[in-house]
């Protein structure tokens, strides 16, 4: 802080400080800080990993991120299955791309099928009409974001060497930012579950499954393509579900920062 350190705070200065505290606690500022959290954490980790330009730390980030992604994807998909099973649902088919070890996983988990249009997709499951089971099925993989990914990302800032920071940053990236890469998939689906249930409480004629999907673009094509029968109401519901999903993404990341504090992985500069 610049200025005369010997001068005590004036009455105006006291008012300014109080005003700053009031401003800092406004809902708008709280939302702004929430939106900045993942960006600030990433940039802090990146500064620690790359204090100066260098090929080795960049390669370390890329290789660690690729390895982390390859390991994370099948675990993510299995968490969907176990989230369903552990909350009372049934699982009959989990498709995983062969590159992620689907053949080996099939020998351990019979419901795993080799091959998928995506990296992985839970295509055969039954929640028995229970939306809590459905939400648990969708959200279970992102417990890894809360418990592992965000703490790792924050821990990257405090490593002793840039290389260690780079490796930890690379490992953390796919896990910490998984909710953001799932904005049109799992998080849209979670939003659609909540929105469709809320609408169904007001109008029993609305089919619960109409807006529910783990691929918002595929759903949009089905509803609004050449053979679709989508309406303005459908578009509004899908937009609402998408926005709810975005809110859930930032809440998930925020939970990761809270857990990071509990286990002692704080972002640089945080109290």
What is the per-residue pLDDT across 137-175, written as a single tens digit (0 to 9) for each? 999 999 999 999 999 999 999 998 999 999 999 999 999
Q: CA-CA distance, 213 to 184, in Å (whole number)? A: 9
Cα–Cα–Cα angle for 113, 115, 118, rounded to 5 degrees: 115
The per-residue pLDDT for 76 is: 97
Interval 93-141: pLDDT, tens:
999 999 999 999 999 999 999 999 899 999 999 999 999 999 999 999 9
What value does the mean pLDDT take over residues 80-100? 97
Question: How distant is the alpha carbon of residue 267 from its chain centre?
Answer: 18
Residue 30 has a pLDDT of 87
The predicted pLDDT at position 84 comes to 97
Pairing of strands 120-126, 112-114: unpaired
Q: What are phi and psi of 95, to 5 degrees?
A: -90, 130
Percent share of the chain, pLDDT over 90: 77
Burial (CB count within 10 angstroms: exposed 0-12, middle 13-18, buried 19+), residue 234: middle
* pLDDT of amino acid 24: 54
pLDDT of residue 26: 86
Largest CA distance in the chain: 76
Exposed, middle or buried, 120 (CB in 10 Å: 0-12/13-18/19+)? Answer: buried
Q: How far is 146 from 152, CA to CA, in rounded Å?
A: 10
Instruction: List C-alpha distances in Å: 245 to 112, 128, 132, 134, 182.
Output: 27, 23, 16, 15, 9
Predicted pLDDT at 204: 80
Spatial contact of 81 and 141, defined as CB atoms under 8 Å apart: no
Confidence of residue 208 (pLDDT cuts 50, 70, 90): confident
User: Are residues 188 and 242 in contact, defined by beta-carbon separation less than 8 angstroms?
Assistant: yes
pLDDT at position 25 is: 67
**Percent of the chain residues topping a pLDDT of 70:** 88
Q: Which residues pair with 95 in a beta bridge?
A: 113, 121
The SS3 of residue 114 is strand
């Amino acid at each position: 802080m610049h200025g005369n350190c010997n001068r005590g705070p004036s009455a105006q200065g006291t008012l300014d400080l109080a005003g700053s505290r009031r401003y800092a606690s406004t809902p708008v500022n709280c939302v702004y800080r929430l939106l900045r959290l993942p960006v600030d954490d990433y940039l802090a980790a990146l500064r620690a990993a790359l204090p100066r330009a260098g090929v080795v730390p960049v390669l370390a980030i890329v290789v660690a991120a690729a390895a982390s992604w390859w390991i994370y994807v099948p675990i993510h998909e299995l968490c969907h299955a176990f989230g369903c099973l552990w909350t009372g649902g049934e699982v009959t088919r989990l498709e995983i791309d062969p590159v992620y070890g689907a053949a080996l996983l099939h020998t351990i988990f019979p419901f795993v099928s080799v091959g998928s249009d995506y990296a992985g997709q839970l295509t055969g499951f039954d929640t028995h009409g229970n939306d809590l089971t459905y939400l648990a099925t969708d959200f279970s993989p992102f417990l890894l974001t809360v418990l592992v990914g965000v703490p790792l990302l924050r821990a990257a800032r405090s490593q002793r060497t840039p290389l260690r920071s780079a490796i930890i940053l690379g490992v953390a990236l796919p896990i910490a930012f998984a909710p953001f890469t799932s904005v049109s998939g799992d998080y849209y689906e979670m939003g659609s579950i909540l929105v469709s249930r809320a609408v169904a409480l007001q109008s029993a004629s609305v089919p619960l499954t109409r807006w529910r999907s783990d691929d918002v673009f595929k759903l949009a094509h089905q509803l609004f393509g050449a053979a679709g029968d989508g309406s303005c109401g459908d578009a509004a519901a899908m937009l609402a579900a998408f926005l709810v999903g975005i809110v859930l993404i930032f809440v998930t990341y925020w939970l990761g920062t809270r857990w990071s504090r509990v286990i002692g992985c704080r972002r640089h500069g945080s109290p």
